[in-house]
Amino acid sequence: MATYTKHHCWSLLLRLFHWMFALSIVFLVVTGFYINDPWTNTMIEGSAAWPMANMRYIHYLAAYVFSAAVAIRLFLYIFGNAQERILDILPVTGRNINNLFMTLMQYSYISDKHDERLGHNILAGLAYLFTFIAAIVMIISGFYMLFPEAPFWEGWGLALFGSQQFARYLHHILMWWFMIFAVIHIYLCVWNDVKEPEGLISSIFTGVKFKHKA
């Protein structure tokens, strides 16, 4: 019978970030699909249903939550606790490179060995970092489309995307990354929870993980 000790892993701010990010993405994807291809048609004139106006309104509200979440994550990458800082997930130290290798071996069923560490494994950390960068592109392209005449967004939007239409195109394609990411993310969290009973899933609610007693 293995014995475990309780470790505080995720700060309240990180958990807040996670759920703001996850829930806003759900709303953004659903309303985003509607905005791109409105599947309803208001047949009765004068019904004042305003489905497109409402969907866009929800999309913008969710977008502000999403932007705030990304700002929180940026803060935590720099000022967070040991597990939350960016250096913890970059394959720049021997220990981290080894963890990346071992995670790949374990995920491909080649090895059963699990590199025990408190925070993200490096593969997950890199996937989150990529998603974080994709989120920043979504924010810039989104605000460029929302405020095309504001000099700040016009300047950044034109420099990065060249035109409104290309920003829209990129915004749409990157949305698929968030859906693909969600599928893999949820699957691997469950998978890890099955493989290693360290309380991975509950840790994003409680902030606490369990580790083998040394």
Partner 1 sequence: MADTVNNAVEPRLDRRGFLKGCTMAAAALGLSEAMIPKMVEAAASAERPRVIWLHFQECTGCTESLLRSSHPDLARLLLDIISLDYHETVMAAAGHQAEQNLHETVDKHPFLLVVEGAIPTKDNGIYCKIAGKTAMDILKTVAPKATAIIAIGTCATFGGVQAAAPNPTGAVGVQDLVSGKPIVNIPGCPPNPVSFLGTVLHYLTFKKLPALDKLNRPLFAYGRRIHDHCERRAHFDEGRFVENFGDQGHKLGYCLYKVGCKGPETFSNCPAVRFNDVDVWPVSVGHGCVGCTEPNFWDTMTPFYERLPNVKIPATGIIDSADRVGKTVLGVTAAAVGIHAVVGIGKRLIKGKSEE
Which listed range, 8-16, 41-49, 67-75, 120-128, lies at the site for partner 1 (CB under 8 A)?
A: 41-49
Min dist. Cβ of residue 124 to partner 1 (A): 15
Residue recorded with tokens 């290693």: 196
Which listed range, 17-25, 46-54, 60-68, 89-97, lies at the site for partner 1 (CB under 8 A)?
A: 46-54
Which lies closer to partner 1 via its Cβ, residue 29 or residue 86? 29
Interface residue with partner 1 among 3, 48, 213, 214 (CB under 8 A) is 48
Residue list 146-165, contact with partner 1 (CB under 8 A): 148-149, 151, 154-155, 158, 162-165
Over its C-alpha atoms, the chain yields an Rg (Å, rounded) of 20
Distance CA 135, CA 19 (A): 15
Interface residue with partner 1 among 85, 166, 189, 204 (CB under 8 A) is 166
Centre a 10 Å sphere on the Cβ of residue 58 and count the other Cβ atoms it contains. 15
Per-residue binding string, partner 1, 129-148, x by CB under 8 A, is ----------------x--x
Answer yes or no whether residue 214 interacts with partner 1 by CB under 8 A: no
Interface residue with partner 1 among 26, 87, 179, 201 (CB under 8 A) is 179
Which lies closer to partner 1 via its Cβ, residue 112 or residue 214? 112
Interface residue with partner 1 among 64, 133, 197, 201 (CB under 8 A) is 197
* Residues 113/106, Cβ–Cβ less than 8 Å: yes
* Residues 103/115, Cβ–Cβ less than 8 Å: yes
Answer yes or no whether residue 42 interacts with partner 1 by CB under 8 A: yes
- Interaction site with partner 1 (CB under 8 A): 2, 36-38, 40-43, 45, 47-53, 107, 109, 112, 145, 148-149, 151, 154-155, 158, 162-166, 168-169, 172-173, 175-176, 179-180, 183-184, 187, 191, 197
